[in-house]
Structure 1
């Protein structure tokens, strides 16, 4: 029997699924993260997880994006060979139309992050198309879809290696995870693909991330295959690294490790590893010819009873009346609540500034960084009475190569982003007695609630990468690198790696 899949049903299912996952975390992730919160002993990591959980529930209630980076869309479509589409358009075209409708939905617009001409002009396509689509024909009379919106911070940490057949996959993973830093916003998952060819291993790793979290059940019943043994071994050893939530040091770096494998050449052992972040977004649906897919919202009771509030030890900082001496008094791990005005800027804006300075030209009228902080962010467009949409931090490490320029030539006082700073940036921070702060990645809606006003200051043509001025009130941040060049992302994991060996093991 042939199943007819209507064009509009397929497009609507793609659009509805992307809206759904923009504000609903998978329930298995929420429950696993809630359990990690209960077990966490690191105060900094526990605070970060509390922000992520609080943000998640806020997004579920408000139907707004979990993260300002609403991702690149990746779709795995398995088409039953007894199915027929009532369309003359390609499957990729239908997927992209669904993406377009989802990302331009006026009730919940999602950030357009996709750029055409990636090695040249890098022009934003404005509707987040095209998606990355993987299609396979399978027996049957239904269409099965796994869809994800993959954030750039975690996607950028993807790794691949061609090992020798006698090499250890576990050793490579444990050696490689620390090199990924914390820009992928742990705690999350690791998807690992083993075998096939180079490109097959990468696809396996991405597809593995679509599977549900079941590490607790796996450890309880015990492994039944070599792949399951590897999953448990890698899970335990990665968490023993002490990287922790947001790289601050702690007990939970990964909530699960997913592995898919495929036969490979006798001379080869391809291994790919792709992390999923704290804003993990994916869902599965099936079309049987009976209309578009339906998505059932989770119950709010699925969220743990965790509500983040600032630490009573947090310092209140007035950004409009801040001195270098005050900045230089901060230490790694200090928690701050920022109020006042700050500027934003990320990759494209920094490149524009660099071009102007190199050409001896002034910055745009009204743009002055003297004595101010810059927040690395590309916000979602606002809706209703919002002054800005979800506006969590982007990875600060990408701005490392611009740090000396900004500190030495613009009068910038400090920076806010997520993740660690590399040695070049840390040296510039130390030299200029500056500071680098972090906000929690995966808490974008929570952070946005601290933003009271927003206006574009420069480069409006860059869209979400324009420079804004935000007025904030009690915006929560943590000191990542102090004026002496000491980094919490070095100190925290080192401390917790040494402590984990003395902490009694608690089963997940």
Structure 2
């Protein structure tokens, strides 16, 4: 009976998590390159360029491609004839224990610390576990004596857009997917990959959809040879119809919204058609490997040629230069939706937990720990820095989660502008228009590139919140787009989603 050492499994998972944090799969980079080459819309083309430059720089620096370094998923296919051997004291640790140990090691690595995003008690204080544990472990027992592991770091921006429905057997799966995309917005950081799970039980359909994502992108080859199976026909149908919607990179309007569509199916009850949709974002991070007979798995090093043709920096940008330290209401009012801004000076950060605390203080009539009058607030939870960095990767988080707090902040604090990713909802847009403020959009998935514009960073309030504390960043030429201007005009409305009939 073949045996694999438990310590080698732990080390292999930890090594994989470090590798995927900063290195995109080669097929994903090639798909982004192709999307950039064919993109006809300027804003989307520039967003794609930022994603490509960020990918190259992250791989070179071995620093995370995205500040959301993900929830760890470990999918294990274990042969029935395999034994996991433990040479230490006590009983053999479970795969859950090994995965948790690996996550703690990888996310606490001094040379490349990763952001801890997991909270322990979702219905109570929502305290961060501090080391990003626990991992999500799924085990499949198969014939043989092998052990295949798929290690994934799945960002929250994609998972939050998960959709599920119980359709009638005669309903069109493709039509259902098309009905979901406009309402999903751009918070999942397109372009990415869509995973579809069809059949099985309700929970199985969602699991199928997610796991379908962790396969190489092969849509160009499929389009060239043509579909053979029903699953392949669905993949092509959804791929072509979704891209025809014109949502585009970052929701800015463009030719490529999805790079591929993956479909997984399972047997189901004759009266049911469970369907689930899970997107993968521009921070696609996973690797699959077989455990060797001895020692940890040796992950192949990335091929530097993967990033050939991608520059080391964005070209010199044209845009409106903004001094955040002297920003006025009149200046904000002069911006128009779609304008490119280059921000320099000091801005504050704050996301979900910090907003809740600020709202509670305002409700009680108490002062905020940091005045917001005349300031700009960036929705971000950064990665811890390493030597030479002011801050670790610091890309934007989804702005709509802060929509319910925005009317109060604009009305009571004198806040002038906010920065995040994707669109804002009607409640936030109405408040922006009423108070003459602005919402600025940064590119989700380009976190290391953004961090290079940060010259200094310090925590100024709510330090106990960890990555959700309020920081003050000093930035130089941070590129953003005016997504909602002071008149309430939204850049996302400039490129409306078009209704596309079935193929």
Provide the TM-score with structure 2 as the length reference. 0.97
Residue 369 of structure 2 is aligned to residue 370 of structure 1:
no
Distance (whole Å) between structure 1 residues aligned to residue 255 and residue 398 of structure 2: 22
- Counterpart of 1:506? none
- 1:385-464 mapped onto 2 (5 Å cutoff): 385-464=388-467
Choose the corresponding residue for 2:189, options 176, 185, 191: 185
Aligned to 2:40, the other structure's residue is in SS state coil
Cα deviation for residue 329 of structure 1 reads 1.1
Aligned to 2:464, the other structure's residue is in SS state helix
- 1:53-452 mapped onto 2 (5 Å cutoff): 53-87=52-86, 88-307=92-311, 309=314, 312-364=317-369, 367-452=370-455
Distance (whole Å) between structure 1 residues aligned to residue 44 and residue 376 of structure 2: 24
Aligned to 2:152, the other structure's residue is in SS state strand
Cα deviation for residue 141 of structure 1 reads 1.1
Choose the corresponding residue for 2:475, options 465, 469, 472: 472
Cα deviation for residue 269 of structure 1 reads 0.3
Whether contact under 8 Å (1:23, 1:63) holds in the other structure is yes
Whether contact under 8 Å (1:141, 1:288) holds in the other structure is no
- Counterpart of 2:40? 41
State how many pairs are aligned: 495
- Counterpart of 1:505? none
1:116-166: per-residue Cα shift (whole Å, max 9, x none)? 111111000000000111111101111111111011111100110000111
Whether contact under 8 Å (2:56, 2:310) holds in the other structure is no
Whether contact under 8 Å (1:162, 1:269) holds in the other structure is yes
Distance (whole Å) between structure 2 residues aligned to residue 284 and residue 123 of structure 1: 31
Whether contact under 8 Å (2:53, 2:314) holds in the other structure is no
Q: Could you list the runs of 4 or more consecutive aligned residues of structure 1 that deviate by over 2 angstroms after TM superposition? A: 306-313
229-238 or 73-82, which moves further after superposition? 73-82
Whether contact under 8 Å (1:338, 1:477) holds in the other structure is yes
Provide the TM-score with structure 1 as the length reference. 0.96
Cα deviation for residue 305 of structure 1 reads 1.1
Aligned to 2:334, the other structure's residue is in SS state coil
1:313-343: per-residue Cα shift (whole Å, max 9, x none)? 3111100111111111111111110000000
1:395-427: per-residue Cα shift (whole Å, max 9, x none)? 001000000011011110010000100011011
1:438-465: per-residue Cα shift (whole Å, max 9, x none)? 1101110000000001111100000000
Distance (whole Å) between structure 2 residues aligned to residue 353 and residue 4 of structure 1: 54
Aligned to 1:272, the other structure's residue is in SS state strand
Which sections of structure 2, spanning at least 5 residues, go unmatched? Answer: 87-91
Which sections of structure 1, spanning at least 5 residues, go unmatched? Answer: 502-508
Distance (whole Å) between structure 1 residues aligned to residue 288 and residue 266 of structure 2: 22
Cα deviation for residue 304 of structure 1 reads 4.2
Distance (whole Å) between structure 1 residues aligned to residue 317 and residue 80 of structure 2: 61
Distance (whole Å) between structure 2 residues aligned to residue 62 and residue 285 of structure 1: 24
Distance (whole Å) between structure 2 residues aligned to residue 6 and residue 314 of structure 1: 56
Distance (whole Å) between structure 2 residues aligned to residue 485 and residue 5 of structure 1: 60
Whether contact under 8 Å (1:3, 1:288) holds in the other structure is no
1:338-367: per-residue Cα shift (whole Å, max 9, x none)? 000000000000000011111122212xx1
- Counterpart of 2:89? none
Cα deviation for residue 288 of structure 1 reads 3.2
